[in-house]
Each structure stands twice: as structure tokens, then as C-alpha cells.
Amino acid sequence: MSVELAGITKRFPGIVANHDIHLSVRKGTVHALVGENGAGKSTLMKILYGMQKPDEGTIAVDGEQVAFTSPADAIARGIGMVHQHFMLADYLTVLENVVLGSEKLYGIGGAARDKIREISERYGLGVRPDALVEDLGVADRQRVEILKVLYRGARILILDEPTAVLVPQEVDALFDNLRELKAEGLSVIFISHKLGEVLSVADEITVIRRGTTVGTAVPAETTSRQLAEMMVGSELPTPETAESTVTDKPVIQVEGLTVYAAGGASLGETGTVGDTPAAGSLAGDAAGGDAKRVLDDVTFTIHAGEVMGIAGVEGNGQTELVDALIGLKNADSGTIRFIGEEMTSWPTRKRREQGVGYIPEDRHRHGLLLEAPLWENRILGHVTEKPNSKGKGRWLDIKGAQADTRRIVEEYDVRTPGIDVTAASLSGGNQQKLIVGREMSHKPRFLIAAHPTRGVDVGAQAAIWDQIREARREGLAVLLISADLDELIGLSDTLRVIYNGRLVADADPAAVTPEELGSAMTGAASGHLEHVEHEQQSSQVAEAAEAAPEDEAR
């Protein structure tokens, strides 16, 4: 199927999101759409998907002019959209999410389950129909969204930042799937800020800036630098760590941190976190000795002025590590020390007030109140701190919060008509810039940065890198988790690999390649990675070795 948008214009109060945009997608091709944050990409795709009506312009599918009043109209014409932020119900299974609203296709039972498995196997999605969505990692949720679109018979797929959470091997697999879709005559609109990937997978590229079309390009005849200049007027930035600022002053010391999956004990239920050796045995007893350890005996130290990167495929314990450090999840055993003081049992608010910054991996679930204005979102996580409060945290300082929100908007280039609009009205990249600005404004001593540049354009990405480097020079300790391996390698002073909840290897950021790092993340050995056994892990290995003769005798 082919699609043509001509003269698309969309206005909102105080802003023109799209102005006279032209986009032509040929049948059986991957057509990339690129542009800076707030350029109007998402608005344009929502118009194509029937979520919004254009004020001017026309849409044609296979040469026939159409007018969509809802996504149901677009779906009926074979258009499906995988949003950058997922549209899933956490407390339903994969099957229930997929069939919701499409029960007439294959029912809600065995036939639907068989169809889901067929699509999953055909395109290598690895989706389990009966898995509960709330138990899935970000990458798995994305695969469910792609499956939903294919389940409904889409012939035109809109993919909004589909590789944001994928490692190189997964990106390659996705691109292989896209090529298979092309071969079957499907068309794909591919939205991404990763220009190297765009050049690799696209047949044609359309660039929009400030809401209007500025040009088209053919990958074989253009470069990342040229695309970046078309998007933001500057070269594609490179994340380079420059001189080392690592000191010998520990900021975060994690020792033996263990967290069990749901069903294991939480020390919020059994006693004080990390209080006595009995805590660990309580966890084991409650779990019956069989519960999975989603974090398994994790130990590390991050010093002032150090960025420690964690590389791993989604679902290997990164989320649980972040939750334990910020206080959203209790540890089952182990300790966390912050500038020499044990904070394992501190509530989240105390950690925030003491100087722990937090950029969450999912900004919609953990970083923003989407229906609240920007100045209220600026307060989140810092309600008792200046400039948001007065009277020693007893009263909100609304004027102070509003004034500082204006500063963040200007300093971090958040594209918005004002601070009273809702967070939901911003593009994903501008939402991310607001969160980064909020966290960096409080001068944290330790920053948990989970995918800090996800969904932002190359210009904003460079600005966020500069903010992290500058704070690092001033003594900030950073835990960096990212699916962008170039970002991990470029920003990290030390680099660790997490696999099945354990830190299994150290990498030298100056020597390791993204391909080597990606291989290590899947459990394979690599030339520039040192596979490590920390003290706790070594003891486990020794215990296993002692037990081996008995096992063989049996």
C-alpha cells in the first residue's frame, strides 16, 4: 500500500505543529521521517492514524483520498501505529491486550492465542500470550505493540522510535523483519533520531524542521552529518568522555545487593532492610529456595566524578537495580551506602532530599504527571526543596516553582508555548529535556540516569551529554543505564555488563566496540571485556566446586 500526505497543516492554541507538509511513501518501502524534537513528526503521524484531524491538506491511500475520524478508520484501511509510549494495560495479559477491541477477528481464546504465536514466531518477536504485561520489560512491551498492529492486519506500519530500547543484535533482527515486511508489499514509516540506523534501513528519508518539510534524501547519496544539518543545523555530536575526573571518594557503595522476583520476600515485609544476616535467610525461606533472583549479589562502587555505565539487554535486572537504589523496591539482602552512610532502608523522599537525582527509564510511568502543567511537573520529587517550597518544606512556593520552570524551559530548550500547558502536550523529547532539567537543577551528588537521551534529537542529546560531563567535573557520581551503546562507551569512565541479574564483566570504554559489548550482553565472551568474579560470586563458585563430586556420585 502507498500513502501520500499533501499540504498537511495542523494548528493548536499558540503553536503551528504542522505547516504544508508533504510526504509520499511508496508501497513495499521503508520511509524514514526525521526531525528535531517538536518538529511535528508525532503530530503528523497522529493525523495519518486518525487520532487528529488536519486543518488543511489531504491524505491518499493507494491513490484514493481518505478522511479519518478515528484510529478505527485508519485501521480499517490497513494502517497501524506503534507509539513511542506504549498503549498497554499493565494488569492484562499479552493476549488480552492484543485482542482488546478486536475480539471479532479471532475471538478471545484458543484461536487468538494460536494467531499470536504464529505472528510472534514468524517475525521473531518472542512474545508469550499469557505473560502479564506489568511483568514485562520495556523491550518486550514494544514487541507486544508491534504484534498488536500485525494482528489487526496492518499493511502500513508507523514505527515511532522502535529501536530506542534495543541492543545492536536486536536492531539487526528488527531490520531483518522490516525487510521481510517490505518483501510482502507492506510499507513502513520509520521515525528515529538515530541517523546511522535511518541510513541503514530506509529506502527514502523525509526531513522536517519546525513543522514543515525541508527536504528528502536517498540514503546512498547522503550522510549522517548532512541529515543532522538539515534537522538542527549542526554536526552529529559524538559523546566523548575527555579527561578523567574520577576521584578516590566513594559516593555509592553497593554490596551483595539481592532482589527476588515477585513471590520472594521483601524486607519491607520481614524487617529492616540489610539489618542482620537473618534478613537474607528470611528471603530464602519465604521464597521456598526456588524464587528467581532478579538481582544476584551485586557489588560495585561509584566515586565522585565517575560515570559508571551498565550495559545489558532489557530485563536482566537493570530496572530492579534502579528501583532498589531510588527506594521503589526493597532489597532482600545486601547494603547500599551513600557518602559513607547506610541508606538501604531510607524512604525515597529522604534519598531525594539527600541528593539522589533520578531520570527514569519510562518518563510517562515514573517521571511525569501528563495532565498536569509543566510547572507542577517541575516540582515532582523535590516538593520539599527550594525553589519549590518555603517554610522549611512546609509550604509550596508556586511562584518560585513557576519562575524556575521558565528557566529550565529556556536553558534546556524545551519547545513549549508556555509553562501552563500539560506535559502530555509536549513531544517525547521535550518531555525528556524537562525531566533532565528538573533533576540537574538540584545539583545531585548521585544521579541515576536510565536512558537519559531516549527519544531526543541529536542537538538535545549533545546538550544532555554536556550537562552530565559538566556535573561530573564538579564531582557528580553517575549510574548510567542506556540502550545506546555509543552513549555508554562515550560517557562512561567504568563500564559493567549485567546478565541474568549479575555483573558478569567489566569493559574498557576506551577499547571496547559496540559489537563486542552487545555480544557480552547476550552472554557471549568478547576480546576487550574482562569476565569478573567478585568476592561474593567467587564464594558461590567455590561452594559449587565442593558440591560437584557429590553430584557426580549421585
Q: What does the DSSP 8-state code read for residue 511?
A: T
The tens-digit pLDDT sequence of the chain (554 residues) is: 789 999 999 988 778 889 999 999 999 999 999 988 778 888 899 999 999 999 999 999 999 999 999 999 999 999 999 887 778 888 899 999 999 988 888 888 889 999 999 888 887 778 889 999 988 876 788 789 888 998 998 899 999 888 876 767 777 877 888 888 888 888 999 998 888 889 999 999 999 988 889 889 999 998 887 888 888 765 545 555 556 788 899 999 999 999 998 644 333 333 322 333 333 333 444 444 457 888 999 999 999 999 999 998 877 899 999 999 999 999 999 999 999 999 999 999 999 999 999 999 888 888 999 999 999 999 998 988 888 888 666 788 899 999 999 999 999 889 888 999 999 988 888 899 999 999 999 999 999 999 998 877 777 788 888 888 889 999 999 999 998 888 899 899 999 999 889 999 998 888 888 878 877 887 765 555 665 544 444 334 334 444 444 443 33
Which pLDDT score, from 0 to 100, does residue 534 have?
A: 43
Which pLDDT score, from 0 to 100, does residue 230 have?
A: 83
- End residue of a domain, out of 185, 206, 232: 232
Q: What does the DSSP 8-state code read for residue 118?
A: H
- End residue of a domain, out of 184, 201, 232: 232
Which pLDDT score, from 0 to 100, does residue 403 have?
A: 94
- Shared domain check, 177 and 65: yes
Contacts of 290 (CB under 8 A, 6+ apart): none
- 396 in a structural domain: no
- Shared domain check, 227 and 87: yes
Q: Please give the distance of CA 184 from its chain centroid, rounded to a whole number.
A: 30
- Shared domain check, 166 and 263: no
CB 195, CB 224: distance < 8 Å? yes
- Shared domain check, 263 and 126: no
Cα separations (Å) of 266 from 103, 263, 293?
A: 39, 9, 12
Which pLDDT score, from 0 to 100, does residue 170 have?
A: 73
Cell 526531525 belongs to: 35
- 216 in a structural domain: yes
- 404 in a structural domain: no
- Shared domain check, 172 and 89: yes
Give the helix ranges, DSSP H, for 152-286: 168-183, 195-201, 224-232, 267-270, 277-286
Three-class SS of residue 51? coil
- Shared domain check, 204 and 173: yes
The CATH number given to whatever domain includes residue 319 is 3.40.50.300
Which pLDDT score, from 0 to 100, does residue 256 have?
A: 94
- Shared domain check, 309 and 277: yes
Which pLDDT score, from 0 to 100, does residue 240 have?
A: 56
Bridge pairing between strands 3-12 and 56-61: antiparallel
Three-class SS of residue 528? coil
- Shared domain check, 54 and 198: yes
Compute the 3-state secondary structure of the chain and give helix, strand, coil in percent, each to the nearest 5.
40, 25, 40
- Shared domain check, 189 and 333: no
- 464 in a structural domain: no
- Shared domain check, 206 and 101: yes
- 259 in a structural domain: yes
Distance between CA atoms of residues 41 and 160, nearest Å: 9
- Shared domain check, 145 and 227: yes
Q: Domain span at residue 223?
A: 3-232
Which pLDDT score, from 0 to 100, does residue 550 have?
A: 42
- End residue of a domain, out of 208, 232, 256: 232
User: What is the H or E stretch that residue 549 is in?
Assistant: helix 535-553
CB 194, CB 163: distance < 8 Å? yes
- 505 in a structural domain: yes
- 407 in a structural domain: no
Please count the structural domains in the chain: 2
- Shared domain check, 279 and 157: no
- 118 in a structural domain: yes
